[in-house]
Copies of this chain bind each other. A is one copy, B any other.
Amino acid sequence: MADQKHVVIVGAGFGGVHLAKELAKENVQITLVDRHNYHLFQPLLYQVSTAVLSASEIAYPTRAFFRNNNNVNFFMAKATGVDQGRRVLLTDHGEISYDYLVLAAGGTTNFFGNESVARNSYGMKTLQEAIALRGHIVHEFERASKKTDPSHTEERLRHLNFVIVGGGATGIEMAGAIVELIDVFKKEFHTIDFSEVHVTLLEAMGSVLPMVPPDLQQHTIDVLRKKGVDVRLNTAVTAYDGNDLVLKDGEIIPTKTVIWAAGVRAQDFIKDCGGEVDRAGRVIVEENLLVKGSDCVFAIGDCANFQHGTERPLPTVAPVATQEAMQVKTNIMALIAGKTPDQLGKFVYHDLGAMATIGRGEAVMNGPMPVLGFNIKASGFFAWFAWMLVHLIRLAGRYADFTVSVKWIWNFFFGTRLARIIHSKLE
């Protein structure tokens, strides 16, 4: 046991948990560090924000993955940096020495330095944000329902105006889900005139969903518009004070709710890990996934910038992180076996395609589907069904929690939302 190497992994997301699970089979000691005690099934976070699922259905206690792995130790702490000279990870609960370190810390919302927006809008990355957003949306309807007097019309409209910024998968899925949540409210807020409720999706570029072909992009926009979402392209945001959202062309949208789904960047401490970072704070990695300039610190997933043979860095999606995890495992075992960094295997990403749901019964999917053995492009109910199947299988494989399946199917048939609880205190 004394000669066991110690691998420290920062982050219990898709990449970190997968890597720890794989390394647990080997004769190494593993410490998995995360500031939360749970692993988050990030792709479904928007369903917590819109009351489809409750928090514990997409958040799984990290320790539960490692019940039978005595060589895995979980350490709940916030990483603050790396001292590569002394080979220690710095955390708010002290230092942790490592032989090999893997940064798998994931991402956070990128407000691109816009402080007024950062302060007043809702991000879509953490469970806390999702729970707060869910409470806020419900609360806005409660507030509007009290302002029935004609003199309150301006205020009431502001409460009933919901703006989503960003036309990527997260923004699209959020827009679709919020429309369905409003359909539930229609049955329950007897005194609200629902023609006063507005959902707007703003996208700075010329189209939505950059990862699918133009016809699917247009289909997505058509479906959202049919659902009543005001989709506005080429529309950038400049400021938001919590009451008025200012667009680049000077237009003002009065709203109490701005949901920011327009960008991802690495956690702050990544810049303090001794590597070189890009504009989004991600650390540059070599083809073997070692942090540039290091011989024992790796980085994977949303906090790593891997750009070798591709036009842009690899996208911030789960398959990139889990595939990188497998390569890092191979490379760490090779280093332990005596190989040198230049002898390590190079990472090659296998694109699994992209899919996004636009609400109940509607989705788009595109890309090589290695499971099926051919290229596929689809929309509508079939794509939605495939989306649901893929996510249920992934969730089930992870948590063996079939109450989620039950709730999804229930929700599909009855369109109800039972998680509409305002946790926060009444203002």
Residues of A within 8 A of B (CB): 35-38, 51, 54-57, 59-61, 63-64, 66-67, 70, 72-78, 92-93, 127-128, 131, 138-139, 142, 145-146, 187-191, 399, 401-403, 406-407, 410, 416, 418-423, 425-426
Q: Known contacts A403-B410, A406-B406; can you find 13 more A-B pairs with CB under 8 A?
A: A37-B139, A38-B422, A51-B56, A54-B55, A55-B423, A56-B421, A59-B421, A64-B416, A70-B190, A75-B146, A76-B146, A127-B421, A399-B418
Tell whether, in the assembled complex, residue B37 and residue A188 are in contact, meaning their CB atoms are under 8 Å apart.
Answer: no
Tell whether, in the assembled complex, residue A426 and residue B188 are in contact, meaning their CB atoms are under 8 Å apart.
Answer: no
Tell whether, in the assembled complex, residue A418 and residue B406 are in contact, meaning their CB atoms are under 8 Å apart.
Answer: no
Tell whether, in the assembled complex, residue A401 and residue B422 are in contact, meaning their CB atoms are under 8 Å apart.
Answer: no
Q: Which residues of B contact A78 (CB under 8 A)?
A: 426
Q: Which residues of B contact A92 (CB under 8 A)?
A: 426
Which residue from B59, B399, B421 sits with its C-beta under 8 Å from A61? B421
Q: Which residues of B contact A67 (CB under 8 A)?
A: 187-188
Q: Which residues of B contact A131 (CB under 8 A)?
A: 423
Q: How far is the CA of A55 from the CA of B54 in the complex (A)?
A: 8
With contacts A67-B187, A190-B73 taken as known, whether A56 is within 8 angstroms of B426 at the C-beta atoms is no
**Nearest B residue (CB) for A37:** B422
Q: Which residues of B contact A70 (CB under 8 A)?
A: 190
Which 7 residue pairs of A and B lie closest in terms of their CB atoms, listed nearest first?
A63-B188, A56-B419, A54-B56, A76-B142, A61-B420, A403-B403, A67-B187
**Nearest B residue (CB) for A67:** B187
Q: Which residues of B contact A403 (CB under 8 A)?
A: 403, 406-407, 410
* CB of A129, distance to nearest CB on chain B (Å): 12
**Nearest B residue (CB) for A131:** B423
Report which residue of A66, A139, A423 has the largest number of chain B beta carbons within 10 angstroms of its beta carbon: A423
Tell whether, in the assembled complex, residue A418 and residue B128 are in contact, meaning their CB atoms are under 8 Å apart.
Answer: no
Tell whether, in the assembled complex, residue B146 and residue A93 are in contact, meaning their CB atoms are under 8 Å apart.
Answer: yes
Q: Which residues of B contact A188 (CB under 8 A)?
A: 61, 63-64, 66-67
* CB of A234, distance to nearest CB on chain B (Å): 38
**Nearest B residue (CB) for A68:** B187
Overall SS of chain A's interface: mixed
Q: How far is the CA of A388 from the CA of B399 in the complex (A)?
A: 25
* CB of A91, distance to nearest CB on chain B (Å): 10
Q: How far is the CA of A412 from the CA of B361 in the complex (A)?
A: 34
Q: How far is the CA of A189 from the CA of B426 in the complex (A)?
A: 37
Q: Which residues of B contact A421 (CB under 8 A)?
A: 37-38, 55-56, 59, 61, 127
**Nearest B residue (CB) for A61:** B420
* CB of A83, distance to nearest CB on chain B (Å): 20
Q: How far is the CA of A87 from the CA of B242 in the complex (A)?
A: 38
Q: How far is the CA of A140 from the CA of B406 in the complex (A)?
A: 33
Q: How far is the CA of A73 from the CA of B148 in the complex (A)?
A: 13
Tell whether, in the assembled complex, residue B399 and residue A406 are in contact, meaning their CB atoms are under 8 Å apart.
Answer: no
**Nearest B residue (CB) for A93:** B146
With contacts A55-B54, A93-B146, A418-B399 taken as known, whether A35 is within 8 angstroms of B423 at the C-beta atoms is no
Q: Which residues of B contact A191 (CB under 8 A)?
A: 73
Q: Which residues of B contact A139 (CB under 8 A)?
A: 37
Q: How far is the CA of A72 from the CA of B190 in the complex (A)?
A: 9
**Nearest B residue (CB) for A414:** B400
Which residue from B37, B57, B189, B418 sits with its C-beta under 8 Å from A420? B37
Q: Which residues of B contact A59 (CB under 8 A)?
A: 421
Q: How far is the CA of A128 from the CA of B74 in the complex (A)?
A: 27
Q: Give me 13 A-to-B residue pairs in the complex whose CB atoms sit less than 8 angstroms apart, sorted by A's number.
A: A35-B426, A37-B138, A37-B139, A37-B421, A51-B56, A54-B54, A54-B57, A56-B419, A73-B190, A73-B191, A74-B145, A76-B426, A92-B426
Q: Which residues of B contact A419 (CB under 8 A)?
A: 56
Q: Which residues of B contact A410 (CB under 8 A)?
A: 403
Tell whether, in the assembled complex, residue A423 and residue B128 are in contact, meaning their CB atoms are under 8 Å apart.
Answer: yes
* CB of A354, distance to nearest CB on chain B (Å): 29
**Nearest B residue (CB) for A57:** B54
